[in-house]
Structure 1
Amino acid sequence: MIKRLLVAVLLLSVTFPALADEGMWLPMLIKRLNYEDMQKKGLKLTPEEIYSVNQASLKDAIVSFGGFCTGEVISKEGLVLTNHHCGYGSIQEHSTLEHDYLTDGFWATSKQHELPNPKLFVRFLVRMEDVTDQVKAAVNSSMSDEERSKGIGQAMREIAKKAEEGNDYQVDVKPLFKGNAYYMFVYETYRDVRLVGTPPSSIGKYGGDTDNWMWPRHTGDFSLFRIYMSPDGKPASYDPKNVPFKPKHYLPVSLDGVQEGDFAMIMGYPGSTKRYLSSYGVKEALDVSYALRIKLMQTKLEILKQDMSADDKTRIQYASKYASTANYWKYLIGQTKGLKRLRVYDKKQKEENEFASWVKADSKRTDEFGKVLPELEHGFKMMTDYSAPIQYSIFVPYLTEFIYFTRRFQGLQPFLAEDEKAEGLEEYTEALKPMVEEYFKDYSAKVDKKVFRALLEMYYKEVSDEYRPDVFAAVNNVKFGEDGEKSAADFDQLVDYIFENSFLFEEDKLMAFLNNPSAEAFKNDPAMNVADAFIDNSRMVQGKVAEASKEIARGERGYIKALMMMHPDKAYYPDANSTMRVTYGQTLAYDPADAVHYDLYTTLDGVMEKEDPTNPEFVVPAKLKSLWEAKDYGQYANDKGELVTCFLSNNDITGGNSGSPVINGKGELIGTAFDGNWEAMSGDIAFEPDVQRTISVDIRYTLFIIDKFAGASHLIDEMTLVKTPKEATSKKRSKKKKKSRRKKN
C-alpha cells in the first residue's frame, strides 16, 4: 500500500516547472497540477468552471464526436460545432449526383430539414475517477504476465459493471502510464445527431492534400450538427418526435479574435500518443514499419485518385475514404521527416543513458529496473524482425474493402455449420441486409479489384512464404500457375476468378445469398475463403510476436515508473488514449527554419492569393470572392478590417482533437482546432515546444461563412456572441506591449 501511495503522489502531486505548454492533462487534476501556471498565462476561470461533477462546467459542452473527433456545444438548443473533415463521412453519405453536398455544401433552413445520421453519436463525460488501488489490488509481483493481465482485466470489468448498475451510462476503465495507473471514465451517449450545415468542400477542404498539415492555412474546416433527445430528456435513437438537446453548459462565442500571446486552452479527446516510446521503438518505426505503411497506402491512393478523377459517381463514393487514407499517409511521411530532422532517436538515447546510470547507482534500483532497457531492446528487435509480416497482415486486409467487409459475415458460420435452418439464422441475416445496402452505396468492385490486385502482389514479393496467406490455395483449391514464385499473369487470373465467382461483389447476388443462405455456398465462395486466409494469417503473425509484445509492455511499464522516481519534481501526463484532456498555452507565431518566420494568423486575402481555377484543391466559390472584393465582412472583421481565417497556438494536440474548441481565458470559444504543423509531425512521440503548433479555424471566419456566405443567420441567432468593449481591449493590448518590452530589456 505504501508503494502504491508513493506512486500516486509522484503521479498527481508534483508541479511542472518547465514545459507548461506541453501536456495532455486530465481535467480533474488541473486544480492540483496546472492551475497556478494557467492563471499566469491568462486563465480567468476557476478549476471548478473547467471540470466539475456537481455543477455545470466546460466539460459539459465538450463531446466525443463519433468516437474519432471532438465537438463542442455552442447553443442552448444542442447545436454542435466540429470540423468539416470530422463530419465528412456523414456529408458524403447524404451526397448524391443530384444533391452533391460535398461540392455545394448544405444548410438546413429549419430543424425539420436537418439530416439524420444513424451511425453517428456523441458522448458526454459525466465524471472520471482514479481506481488505481482497486485495480492493482487484483495482482501481485509473483504473478506471470498472463496471470497479471487476466487479473487486471477482470478487475477493470468488475469496476465498470458496478458503475453502470442502475443507470444508462457507459463506463470505460483505462490504463494510464502503461499500467502504472488506472482511471474510470463515465459517459452518457446520444445517438440522434443530425447534420445542420456544412460549407462546400471548396471552403471546408480548401487546399486539399497540398495544404494538409501545412502553414499557412486558409481552410474553413467546420461543420454543424445538432444533438436530439427524447421528449422526456433522455438519450434516444433517431425519432422524428425527438427534441433538441438541452445542454448543462454551452460555449459563448467571442468576436474579439486573438493577439500574440493570448491564453488558449483546448479541451477534447486526443486519440493516441507515444511520448514514452523508447529509442528502440523509434528506430523500428523509422527503419521499417512507417516506410511499409506509407508504401501500401500510397499504392491505394494512386488507384483511387485515378478512378475518382475519371468518374463523378466514384468521386462521391470514395471522397471520405480517400481523405481518411490520405490524411494518415501524409501524417506518417511528416512524422518520419520530423523524427529524423529533430533527432528524436538521439534524444531518446541520451535519456536512456541517464536512466541506465541512475539505475546502476543503487543496488535496489538495479534489482527492480535493471532489466528494463534490455527487455525493450530485445522486444523491439523481435518486432523489427517481424515488421514486414506484421504491417502487411494488418494493412492489406484493412485497405482492401471486401476483406474488411467480410468480417460482418463471420457470425454466420455457427448457424451454417450444422443446420441451415438453425434458430436465429433468419434474424441474423435480416440484420445484415441494411449493412449490405449501405456498403454498396459507396462501393465499387472495379476500384477494389485494382487495389487488391496491387497489394496482393506486393505482399507476395515482400513477405516470405511462411508469413503470408496462401490465397491461391484458398480459392476452391484451384491452381494458378506453378508452385513457388507467381507471375503477373497468375495474379491477374486469381483476382479475376475471385471477383467473377463470388457473390460478394454485386448487391443482388449478396442479397440472394442472405435470402437463402447455405453452408455450401458460404464454404465455396472464393472471396470468403480469401478473407479467411488473411484472418488466419494475421492471427498466426500476431501469435509470433506475442512474446515481444509482453517484453515491451513490461519494459515500458517499468521505464515510466522509474522516470517518475528519477524526477520527483516533475508532473507527468499520461499518453493520449481517447479520453478527455486539457492542453493550455498561448497563441504564438513561430520560426520553422533559419531566416523563416510564420505569422500568427492568415486572412481571406490569402485564399485569393492561392486561387487556381484549374486545380480542384484551390477553387474559390464565386460568392466568397464577391464578398472579399466588397470587403463585406460585417462584424467578423478584425480591427484592421481583415477577415482572419486561421490562427496558431502552441497547444499540445493529436488525432482525435480535430474539432476541439480553442477557448480563451474567460471560457469563450475563439476557434476550432483542425490540424498540426508540418515541422512538428514528430509530436506524437516527442513534443517540440519551439515549433509545435496547433492550427485552428478562427471562429469569426466560421460565423462569416454561416452568416454572409450561406445566409444561415438563424444559426447565428442561436449562439451567444460576446465582444469586449474597445476601451478594455486597448488596455489589454497596451499591457501586453509593456510586458513584451520588459522581456526584451
Structure 2
Amino acid sequence: MKKKTILVRLLALLLLAPLTGRADEGMWLPLLLKQLNESDMQKRGLKLSAEDIYSINKTSLKDAIVLFGGGCTGEMISGEGLLLTNHHCGYSQIQSHSSVKQDYLTNGFWAMNRSEELPNPGLTATFIVRMEDVTAQVLKDIPANLPEAEREKKVQANIAGIEKTAVTGTHYKAQIKPYFYGTEYYMFITETFTDVRLVGAPPSAIGKFGGDTDNWMWPRHTGDFSVFRVYAGPDNKPAAYAAENKPYKPKHFLPISLKPIKETDFTMVFGFPGRTTEYLPSYAIKEIYEVSNPAKIAIRETKLNILDKHMKASDEVRIQYAAKYASISNYHKKWIGENRGLKKLNAVAKKQELEQQFTTWVNASPERKAKYGTVLSEFEKNYNSLNGITLSRDYFIEAALGVELISYAQNYVALVDLIKNKAPQADIEKQLKNLGNYAGFFKNYNLATDKEVFAALLEMYYKNVDSKFQPEYFRTTVEKKYKGNFKKFAEDVYAQSFMVSPEKIKTALPKISATNTKLIEKDPAYLLARAFTDNYRAKIMPTYVTASDANTLTNRLFVTGLREMQTDKKFYPDANSTLRVAYGQVMGYEPMDGVKYDYYTTLEGLMEKADPTNVDFQVPQKLIDLYNAKDYGDYAVNGEMPIAFVATNHTTGGNSGSPVINANGELIGTNFDRAWESTMSDIMYDPDRVRNIVLDAHYTLFIIDKFAGAGHLIKEMNIVREVTPLPMLENDVDPQSEMKIEKSEKKKNKKNKSKTKLKAA
C-alpha cells in the first residue's frame, strides 16, 4: 500500500514538473498568440482561445486594456467606464488635487457620486483598436546596405505615410514601432480618451504601505490601487472634458473573480511593458553593471537624502515633492537590485558563453561568416568608443538636469536657440507663450530644497566626470571664482537668477522678446543650462549617437543570427511600451540559501509589520478595527484577508496597473511590482527568481467596500464567485468595420454638404 502511495505521488510530481520547472519568459505580441503561444498556454491551464484574448472580429480581452497616461496600464472593470490601475500610477493626479488642508495623499479620496469625481487635465486612457504587421511596407525600396542614419530617415518617411493612410477619415491614431532592432515593424491603431476622472484612492498608509522600505520587495502588503472613470461624448467617442460627458461604455470589461487563488494557478498579464533589452551583448551588460548603474545609483541616493530631509521638515514640501520622490526612488532601488541580480546570474559570463557559441556557428559556414563574421568585433569597437562618454551622459541627465533650476532653464535655452537659428516667428511666439505658463512648475517647487540639490549634485559632477568632458564655463567658474565651494556657488546663482520664483519671472517676462534676450543671456541659471547643453551637444552626443547607430545595426545582425542559430527557440521582441501578453503561474520562490517565500500575504502580516513610529508602516485605525473584528465581508478566503501574491509572469516598468487574469479571462489582481531579486529580468531572465508582485482583487474590493464605504462602485462590477466562461458584452463590435463605417459616414456628410451648396447656388 505504501509503495502504491509513493508511486502515485511520484507520478503527480512528474506531471507537475513541466509546469513548475519551465521558464515563463517572454512578452508576446497579442497578434501572434495563435501561432506562437496558444497551444502552450492552453496546456498550462488557459480555458480561452487566442481569439478570446486578441481579436478584431469580436470583442476580446484587449478591449478592456488601456495605456493609462504615458507609462502605466489600466483595465476596465465596469460597463460604466470604471478603470482600475495602481495607486502609484495615479499618484501624481492624487497629489495634484491635494493640499495641506485637503490632503488626499494622506487621507485618501472617494467620490460618493459621479458629481464628486475629479477631472485630470492631460490624463489619457488609450485603447488598442487593432494591430498589423507592416514590415514589408516600412522596408519597401530600402537597400540592405544603407548607412543606419540614411536608413532610419527613409524608414521614418515610409512610416509617416503608412500611419496617415491608416487613419484618414477616422478619429483614431496610428503608431508604428520597430521590433528586433528594426527587423520587423508593427502598427497600432489607437483610440484615446482625454476625459479621465479620479474616483477613488486609498490613503497612502494603504496605497503606499511599506513605502520605500518595501518597494521592490517581497513579502508585500501594499494596497497599490486607485480608481478612475473614463468619460466620453454623447456618441461614446472621445471628447474633451465637459460636465455633460457620459461614462464611457467599453466594448469589454473584466469580471472580477473571488475564487481562492492557489499555487500553480495559470496567470496572464496584459499590458504595456516599457523597455527591456534582453538581446544585449556582453559588452553592453558590462558597461551597465560597472559604469552606468553605479553612477546613477549614487546620484539619486544623494538627491533622495536631501529631498527626504526637506519633506520631513515641512508638510508643504512633503506634498510638493511626494510624486517626484517616489519617481526618483523607484529606479534608484531598481538599479541596485538589478546589479545584484546580474552579479548573482554571472550575466556577463553567460552572454560571453552565448557569443562563443555564436562564433562557432558563424565560422562553420562561409556564407554565415560573410554575413555575421564581424558582429562581435563591431560590438567591442563600439563600446570601447563610449569610454567616458556613457558616464558623462549619465551625469548630464541625472546630475546636471537633476537640478530643477537647470532643467527649467532649458526652456529659455530653447527660446534663444529658436531666435538665433531664425526659426519661424510663430514658433518663437509659441515658446514665449509657453514661458508664461510657469505657475504649474512652481506649484511643486521649493527653492531651498533645489538649492541644496544643486550644490550636492554639481559637486558630484565636477569630481566624477573627466574634465575633458565638462563644460569649460562650469569648470572655470567653480575653480577660479568659487575655489570649489559649491554651497557659495549655489547661494549666488539662486540669489541672482530670475528663474527661481514666479514673482521674479513675472517681472522679467515683459522685458523679454524675440528681439531682446539680454536679460536671459546674463542670467546665471541660463548660463549654466547653456553650458551643459552645448557641452553635451558638442562633446558627448555625437560620439554617443554614432556608437548607438552602429550598435543598432550590429544588434539587428546579431539577433537575426541568433534566430537562425536557435531554430527551436521562440523569440519575443524587447518591450517598447506596446501591448503585450505575459503568462505564467502563481508560485513562491527561494531567493537565496536558507530563504523560502510563500506565494501570498495576508492582512495578518500587515499588522505584524505595523509600526506607528515609522511613516512607512503606519496603519489607519479603521483598518485595525476591521482586522480585529475580522469584518472582511465577502472578501475573505478561509477566514483570512489576502493582500498580495507572486507569480512567474515576465513584467517590467509600464506593466504597473496591468490586470492579472486567470484561466477564464477574469481579473484576479493588479500587477504593481517585481521582487527585488527579479529586476535584472529587463536584461536577463531567471526562472528561479523572477516574480511579479500582484495586488489580490479580494483586498482591492475589501478596501473599496468595507474600508472606504464605496459599495456603490462594487455594484457596478461583475463579481464572479464561481468559474464561468469568458463573458462578452452583447454589443460585440468589429473595430475595422467601425473604422469603415466612420469613414463612410464622413464621405456621406461631405457629399451631402456638396449637394446643399449646389442647391443653394
TM-score by length of 2: 0.89
Work out the percentage of aligned pairs sharing the same amino acid. Answer: 49
1:438 alignment partner in structure 2? 440
2:111 alignment partner in structure 1? 108
Kindly indicate whether the alpha-carbon contact (under 8 Å) linking 2:404 and 2:450 is maintained by their aligned counterparts in 1. Answer: yes
Counterpart residue identity of residue 712, structure 2: H
1:487 alignment partner in structure 2? 483
Counterpart residue identity of residue 631, structure 1: K
1:191 alignment partner in structure 2? 194
Kindly indicate whether the alpha-carbon contact (under 8 Å) linking 1:262 and 1:586 is maintained by their aligned counterparts in 2. Answer: yes
The CA deviation at 1:409 is 3.9
CA distance in 2, matches of 1:178, 1:325: 29
Kindly indicate whether the alpha-carbon contact (under 8 Å) linking 1:253 and 1:668 is maintained by their aligned counterparts in 2. Answer: yes
User: Does 601-610 or 509-518 show the bigger shift?
Assistant: 509-518
Kindly indicate whether the alpha-carbon contact (under 8 Å) linking 2:210 and 2:617 is maintained by their aligned counterparts in 1. Answer: yes
CA distance in 1, matches of 2:530, 2:723: 66
User: Does 402-411 or 236-245 show the bigger shift?
Assistant: 402-411
Structure 1 residue 241 corresponds to structure 2 residue 240: no
1:69 alignment partner in structure 2? 72
SS in 1 for 2:93: helix
2:387 alignment partner in structure 1? 384
Counterpart residue identity of residue 251, structure 1: L
CA distance in 2, matches of 1:701, 1:329: 28
2:674 alignment partner in structure 1? 676
Q: Pick from 286, 295, 315: which aligns with 1:283?
A: 286
Alignment map for 1:168-567 (pairs within 5 Å) = 168-413=171-416, 428-433=431-436, 435-472=437-474, 482=480, 487-489=483-485, 491-518=486-513, 519-540=517-538, 541-567=540-566
The CA deviation at 1:90 is 0.7
Q: Pick from 658, 661, 675: which aligns with 2:659?
A: 661
User: Does 570-579 or 182-191 show the bigger shift?
Assistant: 182-191
Counterpart residue identity of residue 664, structure 1: N
SS in 2 for 1:251: coil
CA distance in 2, matches of 1:405, 1:689: 43
CA distance in 2, matches of 1:420, 1:558: 40
1:733 alignment partner in structure 2? none
The verdict on how the C-alpha distance between 1:470 and 1:101 changes in structure 2, with shifts beyond 3 A counting, is farther
Kindly indicate whether the alpha-carbon contact (under 8 Å) linking 1:480 and 1:493 is maintained by their aligned counterparts in 2. Answer: no
The CA deviation at 1:404 is 2.0
Structure 1 residue 124 corresponds to structure 2 residue 127: yes
2:742 alignment partner in structure 1? none
CA distance in 2, matches of 1:60, 1:470: 54
CA distance in 2, matches of 1:164, 1:398: 38
SS in 2 for 1:124: strand
Kindly indicate whether the alpha-carbon contact (under 8 Å) linking 1:472 and 1:494 is maintained by their aligned counterparts in 2. Answer: no
The verdict on how the C-alpha distance between 1:44 and 1:598 changes in structure 2, with shifts beyond 3 A counting, is same
Kindly indicate whether the alpha-carbon contact (under 8 Å) linking 1:257 and 1:670 is maintained by their aligned counterparts in 2. Answer: no
2:745 alignment partner in structure 1? none
The verdict on how the C-alpha distance between 1:431 and 1:725 changes in structure 2, with shifts beyond 3 A counting, is closer
1:643 alignment partner in structure 2? 641
1:739 alignment partner in structure 2? none
1:570 alignment partner in structure 2? 569
1:5 alignment partner in structure 2? none
Q: Which 5+ residue runs of structure 2 have no aligned equivalent?
A: 1-18, 725-761
Q: Pick from 43, 46, 50: which aligns with 2:46?
A: 43
Cα offsets for 1:516-566 (capped at 9, x unmatched): 424221222221221122211222211122332233222211110001100
Cα offsets for 1:251-275 (capped at 9, x unmatched): 0111113111111011000000010
The CA deviation at 1:511 is 2.4
The verdict on how the C-alpha distance between 1:240 and 1:464 changes in structure 2, with shifts beyond 3 A counting, is same
The verdict on how the C-alpha distance between 1:421 and 1:270 changes in structure 2, with shifts beyond 3 A counting, is closer
The verdict on how the C-alpha distance between 1:33 and 1:314 changes in structure 2, with shifts beyond 3 A counting, is same
Kindly indicate whether the alpha-carbon contact (under 8 Å) linking 1:288 and 1:384 is maintained by their aligned counterparts in 2. Answer: no
Cα offsets for 1:204-263 (capped at 9, x unmatched): 000011111111000000000111112232212222121111101000111113111111
Counterpart residue identity of residue 492, structure 1: K
2:686 alignment partner in structure 1? 688
Counterpart residue identity of residue 240, structure 1: A
Counterpart residue identity of residue 617, structure 2: F
Counterpart residue identity of residue 40, structure 2: D
Structure 1 residue 701 corresponds to structure 2 residue 713: no
1:625 alignment partner in structure 2? 624
Cα offsets for 1:91-126 (capped at 9, x unmatched): 111110001111000001111111111121111111
CA distance in 1, matches of 2:20, 2:284: 28
CA distance in 2, matches of 1:122, 1:407: 29
User: Does 541-550 or 701-710 show the bigger shift?
Assistant: 541-550
Cα offsets for 1:64-115 (capped at 9, x unmatched): 1112110001001111000001111111111100011110000011111111
CA distance in 2, matches of 1:368, 1:329: 40
Kindly indicate whether the alpha-carbon contact (under 8 Å) linking 2:279 and 2:559 is maintained by their aligned counterparts in 1. Answer: yes
The verdict on how the C-alpha distance between 1:17 and 1:556 changes in structure 2, with shifts beyond 3 A counting, is farther
2:755 alignment partner in structure 1? none
CA distance in 1, matches of 2:141, 2:448: 53
SS in 1 for 2:89: helix
Cα offsets for 1:121-174 (capped at 9, x unmatched): 111111111111112223213322232222222222222222232122222111
The CA deviation at 1:651 is 0.5
CA distance in 2, matches of 1:360, 1:443: 59
User: Does 122-131 or 626-635 show the bigger shift?
Assistant: 122-131
CA distance in 1, matches of 2:190, 2:259: 33
User: Does 155-164 or 276-285 show the bigger shift?
Assistant: 155-164
User: Does 407-416 or 181-190 show the bigger shift?
Assistant: 407-416
The CA deviation at 1:20 is 5.8
Cα offsets for 1:483-531 (capped at 9, x unmatched): 8xx6343x33332222112111111121233344242212222212211
Counterpart residue identity of residue 487, structure 1: K
The CA deviation at 1:179 is 1.2
SS in 2 for 1:178: coil
2:611 alignment partner in structure 1? 612
Counterpart residue identity of residue 456, structure 1: L
2:599 alignment partner in structure 1? 600
Counterpart residue identity of residue 399, structure 1: G
Kindly indicate whether the alpha-carbon contact (under 8 Å) linking 2:474 and 2:531 is maintained by their aligned counterparts in 1. Answer: no
CA distance in 2, matches of 1:52, 1:487: 66
The CA deviation at 1:407 is 3.5
Structure 1 residue 95 corresponds to structure 2 residue 94: no
The verdict on how the C-alpha distance between 1:310 and 1:233 changes in structure 2, with shifts beyond 3 A counting, is same
The CA deviation at 1:473 is 8.0
Structure 1 residue 162 corresponds to structure 2 residue 165: yes
The CA deviation at 1:195 is 0.7
CA distance in 2, matches of 1:363, 1:356: 12
CA distance in 2, matches of 1:201, 1:25: 34
The CA deviation at 1:694 is 0.8
The verdict on how the C-alpha distance between 1:725 and 1:544 changes in structure 2, with shifts beyond 3 A counting, is closer
The CA deviation at 1:428 is 4.8
Counterpart residue identity of residue 253, structure 1: I
Cα offsets for 1:650-684 (capped at 9, x unmatched): 10100000000000111100000001111222110
CA distance in 1, matches of 2:245, 2:582: 35
The verdict on how the C-alpha distance between 1:166 and 1:595 changes in structure 2, with shifts beyond 3 A counting, is same
CA distance in 2, matches of 1:527, 1:419: 23
SS in 1 for 2:550: helix
Cα offsets for 1:40-76 (capped at 9, x unmatched): 1111112111101121111110001112110001001
SS in 2 for 1:609: helix
CA distance in 2, matches of 1:372, 1:725: 52
The CA deviation at 1:420 is 14
The CA deviation at 1:185 is 1.2
